[in-house]
Structure 1
């Protein structure tokens, strides 16, 4: 008997130890981890610098609440602002909370209520972020959703041209739809989104929960596209495994989040800030980010060389080290076989295998993963 709600379809798998890109289970079997805690452990498991920063902070103070000044918050916020188009940061505990804050800020600042998002998006599981998510499977069974969300088809510039009226507070999207199938945005589409926001006097919110903190080879994924969002949300890789989220906004929005307008008991606590600060120090180094971009291109090329021509493989796509292999059939059995072969990967929708290696993955580890995937596909039987 379990004392847990069965909200997760868990694998029969218990992790005993982890280091870098590798996990060891309770049977001492070793697995190459191309999940990274779902794009969380961007520096791999138990990164030495992050561990040291957290251990040092544990000896000092853990939590005081946001009634007190927390100098580490200022330091981490400065790093985020210096690597984005934002000017101020609100700290919370997760991606859903960061997106919740973004939705609240957009509505409060504009005085309008409608938020436009996109089909197959994923923004979280709170009521507001579930309502923002353009996937019915996330929403079924919870009764009436918030009625102020409208969903458009992704990468469809013509649909954007139909948007009109004065009630739109913001357009919110991911630059690569992760949970929706690893679908990168087209540049002309994103630029049309930015143009539409200006036309409607609406804010542009970019959800960088999965694509941010170096995952695409830039500090944030939107920086590949020549746009400047009003609000950016971040979490997952920000603390390399310690829970932390952040909403980053432009200076003209600061007046709308004054004392009493929003808050978080644990947001920005000392432990979270210590981990985030150490993580950002390493990832935001230009040479580190350049290496991520190069590794992403290298991994895609290796996958194409190994898998293109197989009858199941339709397309290999992504940005940086967020990569999807779209197949002509459901991928559950392929993922299970890869796990039996000691490689851990994820689905992104029913027909896409998602690869999320740590950003400091080695060429040798990428070669190992590709070899396992090649073997997995070659032995697959319908």
Structure 2
């Protein structure tokens, strides 16, 4: 049996990792400035994280949610304290797309409505409900297209207000910063206006922090730079540092009943142990502050590179837009310079999502490799 094709696969096989580096089976060392789709938050193979998982697996790795799980409650307490959302409840699941599915379900239960407003360029996941609020026709099958979603432009507040007044809208969903579309930050006015309109029209506001959360932007959540408080916040990716886990932070106004939400694997002993270790390391090593500091240094240095047309993002969630498609540049960075970076739905944008514990030496090394790749690329184009 062969594997079903999902992604374009890099011709490298990784065998081990350490901090901000990964190693392939041929002995090559790669600087990781992508973190496996922003998943690696605390660095690869962090000793404290590894020790916590090993110790837990020797005790009990899994039992269902039919029993009391201490680790689940400990994770909720830690997340509430560190994020600033102590009064919210936490529902745990296994992935980002499940987080969004459940957030949409909660909003629909709460309002009794079924339509959703999402934004053009959005990406919220690959399961049916999440795909229905994802603006990418290539991913949406006829089955997924049955949902009733209105897609609007970020700045079209008049249209948003009209739809909220006149339609059967249960929720507005938006990313803290759009990642897959090429690192698009909608900014202060957007969040303030959307939150105000949702409140005015009794519409649930869901902010998807799956890629932009967990300290990546220099605040725990990207939206916390602005004076807004969403009804539901979805998380995953950096939450488990590679161990599958996701969740929904739920405003206290939402009522639950047994059977409303459920999961077989979500909130299990091992997943929660991973989530606890991540938060303890983020707190102990001041990784949110580090992301903010390293992000400022990296952005400052990137602005000196003339080949970059536009730089977007905050903290360690950065998009570099060039005036040429970046696939060749990415290949040179990976295969020649041995640095891992990401692409996006915008063929001209390179995505940088390194672990939050990078230091200035990692930044210097990355900048050197990027400059080398650009020199090689333009030399090749000029026949040199």
**What TM-score bracket applies, with the shorter chain setting the length?**
over 0.9
Alignment match, 1:194: 195
Q: Deviations over 1:87-140 (max 9, x none)?
A: 10000000000010001000001111111110110000001101110121221x
Alignment match, 1:344: 340
- The offset of 1:145, in angstroms, is 1.5
CA distance in 1, matches of 2:144, 2:55: 47
Question: Does the 8 Å contact 1:93/1:244 carry over to 2?
Answer: yes
Label 1:287 to 1:19 Cα distance change in 2 as closer, same or farther (>3 A).
closer
CA RMSD of aligned residues (A): 1.5
- The offset of 1:222, in angstroms, is 1.0
SS of residue in 2 equivalent to 1:323? strand
CA distance in 2, matches of 1:9, 1:58: 34
Alignment match, 2:3: 4
Alignment match, 2:50: 51
Q: Deviations over 1:213-253 (max 9, x none)?
A: 11111111110111000000000000111110011111111
Alignment match, 1:153: 153
Alignment match, 1:328: 323
Alignment match, 2:298: 299
CA distance in 1, matches of 2:144, 2:359: 47
Question: Does the 8 Å contact 2:34/2:353 carry over to 1?
Answer: yes
Alignment match, 1:203: 204
Where do residues 18-29 of structure 1 align in structure 2 (5 Å cutoff)? Answer: 18-29=17-28
Alignment match, 1:316: 311
Label 1:364 to 1:156 Cα distance change in 2 as closer, same or farther (>3 A).
farther
Task: In structure 1, list runs of 5 or more residues that go unmatched.
Answer: none
CA distance in 2, matches of 1:133, 1:62: 34
Question: Does the 8 Å contact 2:132/2:144 carry over to 1?
Answer: no
| Segment of structure 1 superposing worse, 294-303 or 79-88 | 79-88
Q: Deviations over 1:51-95 (max 9, x none)?
A: 111111011111110000101101101122221435100000000
Where do residues 130-279 of structure 1 align in structure 2 (5 Å cutoff)? Answer: 130-139=131-140, 141-143=141-143, 145-163=145-163, 164-253=165-254, 255=255, 257-279=256-278
Q: Is 1:359 aligned to 2:360, yes or no?
A: no
Task: In structure 2, list runs of 5 or more residues that go unmatched.
Answer: none
Q: Deviations over 1:325-380 (max 9, x none)?
A: 01112111110011121111001221100001110001101110011111112222
Question: Does the 8 Å contact 2:129/2:144 carry over to 1?
Answer: no
CA distance in 2, matches of 1:131, 1:315: 30
CA distance in 2, matches of 1:187, 1:138: 30
Label 1:302 to 1:203 Cα distance change in 2 as closer, same or farther (>3 A).
same
> Which of 361, 376, 381 lines up with 1:379 in the alignment?
376
CA distance in 1, matches of 2:107, 2:310: 36
**Normalised by the size of structure 1, how large is the TM-score?**
0.95
- The offset of 1:266, in angstroms, is 0.3
SS of residue in 2 equivalent to 1:151? strand
How many residues are matched? 374
- The offset of 1:262, in angstroms, is 1.4
CA distance in 2, matches of 1:77, 1:102: 17
SS of residue in 2 equivalent to 1:171? strand
| Segment of structure 1 superposing worse, 68-77 or 283-292 | 283-292
Q: Deviations over 1:271-322 (max 9, x none)?
A: 00001001011214594322211111111111112x1x22xx2101101100
CA distance in 1, matches of 2:212, 2:176: 8
- The offset of 1:158, in angstroms, is 4.0
- The offset of 1:157, in angstroms, is 3.3
SS of residue in 1 equivalent to 2:166? coil
CA distance in 2, matches of 1:41, 1:142: 34
